[in-house]
Amino acid sequence: MWEKAELGDKQRFQNLLFPQGFYFDKENKHIEPLTVNRFFCCKPLIINELRAKEKGTFL
């Protein structure tokens, strides 16, 4: 899917996921996002709550 997407679509998707862009460390050749869209940060919390509900340990 990513390979078939056009440049503009890729840029819009990246901006949605990483609204403040990336930090690139030339020396270590390391790329790190400055922030991640808050919507995606909630996913682990939701998954944990669903698992707890399945086990009957949900508060």
Give average pLDDT by consecutive 10-residue segment, the chain, 59 residues.
Answer: 92 89 92 82 78 78
What pLDDT, on a 0 to 100 scale, did the predictor assign at position 45? 77
- Exposure pattern of 13-33 as b/e (b: 16+ CB <10 Å)? eeeeebeeeeeeeeeeeeeee
What pLDDT, on a 0 to 100 scale, did the predictor assign at position 14? 87
Identify residue 40 by its one-letter amino acid code. Answer: F
What pLDDT, on a 0 to 100 scale, did the predictor assign at position 6? 95
What pLDDT, on a 0 to 100 scale, did the predictor assign at position 7? 96
Q: Is the pTM of this model over 0.85?
A: no
What pLDDT, on a 0 to 100 scale, did the predictor assign at position 59? 61
